[in-house]
């Protein structure tokens, strides 16, 4: 909209403004001075009993999520045998931004983390991911119903600040999932530090997560970059899984690597929330610090790992 800035245009942060006094329909000041009986107040909007489904404003359905959890539970427990350390660092209430390392051609870290936190802590987790998902019929809808949200800064802000939810992001994005097997657990650039800025603006802590097992669940041995460009996807991988499970099943089926997730102590920021802008160098410093924390935790966890498959 080209007209956002005109006289008395709405402030960008309407949330903190005090509520305007509620007004009767016929305000004496407007209607010329004489007092008239106030007209019937509009009915108070109430959705009770009107809804047929349970899809929330983010497209997530708790019922669909429960079905997904039931289906995913054997994969989580028996296939990946996921184990957590430091779950107590995830706040039991209030918003927090979970930040993890990303790996594997089709990354299993997101569903494992979401499933783990939801089953262990009973809190919903919204997984922020590339909006390219939304372009794909059926997949996009299922992804959205099971807790996927496009990684738009305003979506993250609303989830964290307005709704005080847990949101999960992988700042490496497709640079993390698209790396070759020989680069596994070498963290890529953490975007432009946008995730730190969002957490500062929303006034919530960042909880860093170090995940191992995700890279070996679907390692990339070769990338067909020209084909990827042709069909307009970030990368087109040939995975080790395709040699094990065949070219088609190998596209979606992960290897049974042992998953370990370590939750690092939350990072709180010394910055006022709801600012228009934040100091660039402070944001970049914090982003780099969190990245280093996760990288060091990964190295330590890998030092202690005796076997890729048995941990």
Residue from 131, 164, 282, 295 touching other proteins (CB under 8 A): that is 131
- Could you say whether residue 135 binds other proteins (CB under 8 A)? yes
- Could you say whether residue 136 binds other proteins (CB under 8 A)? yes
Residue from 45, 70, 78, 304 touching other proteins (CB under 8 A): that is 45
- Could you say whether residue 277 binds other proteins (CB under 8 A)? no
Q: What value does the CA radius of gyration of the chain take, rounded to a whole number of Å?
A: 23
Q: Which stretch binds other proteins (CB under 8 A): 62-70, 74-82, 96-104, 126-134?
A: 126-134
Instruction: Say how far apart CA 125 and CA 122 lie, in whole Å.
Output: 9
Among 185, 186, 184, 207, smallest CA distance to 195 is for: 207
Instruction: Say how far apart CA 230 and CA 228 lie, in whole Å.
Output: 5
Which residues are CB-contacts of 163 (< 8 A; sequence separation ≥ 6)? 95
- Could you say whether residue 32 binds other proteins (CB under 8 A)? yes
Instruction: Say how far apart CA 123 and CA 114 lie, in whole Å.
Output: 9
Among 136, 209, 211, smallest CA distance to 168 is for: 209
Tokens of 178: 């698209």
The beta-strand segments (E) located in the chain are 83-85, 96-100, 125-129, 148-150, 166-169, 206-212, 220-223, 237-239, 260-263
CB of 116 to other proteins, least distance (A): 25
| DSSP-derived 3-state class of residue 21 | coil
- Could you say whether residue 276 binds other proteins (CB under 8 A)? no
Among 180, 189, 149, smallest CA distance to 166 is for: 149
Instruction: Say how far apart CA 193 and CA 155 lie, in whole Å.
Output: 16
CB-nearer residue toward other proteins: 31 or 279:
31
Among 160, 99, 109, smallest CA distance to 290 is for: 99
Can you tell me which residue has the tokens 């993890």? 100
Query: Which residues are paired to 168 by β-bridges?
Result: 98, 127
Alpha-carbon distances of 9 from 3, 4, 137, 214, 259, rounded to whole Å = 9, 6, 38, 48, 51
Tokens of 52: 């047929």
Q: Which stretch binds other proteins (CB under 8 A): 112-120, 151-159, 183-191, 282-290?
A: 151-159
Q: Which stretch binds other proteins (CB under 8 A): 2-10, 82-90, 201-209, 287-295?
A: 2-10
Residue from 69, 75, 121, 141 touching other proteins (CB under 8 A): that is 141
Q: Which stretch binds other proteins (CB under 8 A): 106-114, 144-152, 206-214, 230-238?
A: 144-152
- Could you say whether residue 93 binds other proteins (CB under 8 A)? no
Residue from 89, 134, 175, 189 touching other proteins (CB under 8 A): that is 134
Total chain residues near other proteins (CB under 8 A) = 57
- Could you say whether residue 17 binds other proteins (CB under 8 A)? yes
Q: Which stretch binds other proteins (CB under 8 A): 13-21, 108-116, 226-234, 286-294?
A: 13-21
One character per residue 158-197, x = contact with other proteins (rule: CB under 8 A): x---------------------------------------
- Could you say whether residue 27 binds other proteins (CB under 8 A)? yes
**Residues lying near other proteins in the complex (CB under 8 A):** 1-10, 12, 14-15, 17, 19-23, 26-27, 30-32, 34, 36, 41-43, 45-47, 50-53, 55, 57-59, 131-132, 134-141, 149-150, 152-155, 158
């Amino acid at each position: 909209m080209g007209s956002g800035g005109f006289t008395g245009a709405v402030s960008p942060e309407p949330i903190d403004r005090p509520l305007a006094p509620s007004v009767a329909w016929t305000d004496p000041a407007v209607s010329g001075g004489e007092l008239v009986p106030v007209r019937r107040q509009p009915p108070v909007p109430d959705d009770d009993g009107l809804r047929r489904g349970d899809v929330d404003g983010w497209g997530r359905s708790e019922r669909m999520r429960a079905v997904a959890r039931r289906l995913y539970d054997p994969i989580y427990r028996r296939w990946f045998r996921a184990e957590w350390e430091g779950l107590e660092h995830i706040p039991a209430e209030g918003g927090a931004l979970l930040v993890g390392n990303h790996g594997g051609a089709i990354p299993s870290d997101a569903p494992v983390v979401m499933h783990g936190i939801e089953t262990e802590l009973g809190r919903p987790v919204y997984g922020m991911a590339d909006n390219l998902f939304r372009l794909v019929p059926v997949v996009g809808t299922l992804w959205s119903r099971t807790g996927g949200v496009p990684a738009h800064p305003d979506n993250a802000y609303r989830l964290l600040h307005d709704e005080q939810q847990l949101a999960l992001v992988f700042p490496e994005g497709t640079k993390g999932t698209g790396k070759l097997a020989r680069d596994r657990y070498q963290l890529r650039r953490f975007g432009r530090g946008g995730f730190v800025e969002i957490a500062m603006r929303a006034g919530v802590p960042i909880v860093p997560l170090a995940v191992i097992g995700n890279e070996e669940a679907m390692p990339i041995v070769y990338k067909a970059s020209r084909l990827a460009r042709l069909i307009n996807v970030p990368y087109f991988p040939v995975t080790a899984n395709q040699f094990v499970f065949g070219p088609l099943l190998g596209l979606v089926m992960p290897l049974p690597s042992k998953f370990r997730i370590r939750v690092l102590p939350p990072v709180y920021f010394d910055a006022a929330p709801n600012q228009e802008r934040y100091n660039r160098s402070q944001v970049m410093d914090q982003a780099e610090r969190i990245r280093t924390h996760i990288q060091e935790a990964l190295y330590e966890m890998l030092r202690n790992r005796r076997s890729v498959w048995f941990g």
